[in-house]
Amino acid sequence: MTSQPTRAIATLASLLGSLVVGCAAPPADFALRGPDGRQILLRHDGTWRYAGEAVGEPPSAGGEALLSVVGRSDDGRDCRITFELVNRLPYAIHSLVPTFVAYRASGSPNRQVSVNFNGLFPEGAQRRTALYEGIACGDIARLQMIGGDRCTMGELDLLSSSGDECLSRVRIQPGRFVPLNR
């Protein structure tokens, strides 16, 4: 026969064990609305993607270029952000110069930097680093890709490309460093 204090200690130990196991479980994924109104799925591992955007989605029929943010680091009062472009198109990207606008959490734009990807052959990848002067990485809530509508790739050149033809061949990959959208 066990005594009352022994049972109380056993019950307390069981409750504490359950609490420790419950705390060790990873946090759940959740969704929220971005400033542009689109739904964003945030994962417990720090990655994100737009709702409706399939993970590991196969390239479009003619191929595509994949753009992602692969790094960021503070440099004093400035932020260095590294972009990577992977060419899965059946032709070389001779020149593509998108501009990336940095937005603060308040929604106000802060800085914009253009990045030049060039001489990128099929199945190749290039990394380019952009310096955002006067803003720390922690103060950048999101990046928006604009411009880049003049390019030289495939049948598109500086005279024939117009509008969003160049950027329509670029798919933004979700990343964990800073949200990037069009």
Could you say which architecture CATH assigns to the domain 61-181?
Sandwich (2.60)
Is residue 83 within 8 A of residue 89, CB to CB? The reply is no
pTM of the predicted protein model: 0.65
* Backbone Cα Rg of the chain: 23
Per-residue model confidence as pLDDT tens digits over 131-166: 999 999 999 999 999 887 778 888 877 665 555 678
Tokens of 98: 């998108």
Q: Classify residue 11 by its DSSP letter.
A: H
How high is the pLDDT of residue 53?
46
For residue 71, pLDDT over 90 is answered with yes
For residue 37, pLDDT over 70 is answered with no
**Domain range summary for the chain, segments of one domain joined by +:** 61-181
What is the helix (H) or strand (E) element at residue 84, kind and residue range? strand 78-87
**Rounded CA separation 10/63 (Å):** 62
**Rounded CA separation 124/19 (Å):** 49
Is residue 66 within 8 A of residue 173, CB to CB? The reply is yes
Under the banding of pLDDT at 50, 70 and 90, the label for residue 99 is very high
For residue 179, pLDDT over 90 is answered with no
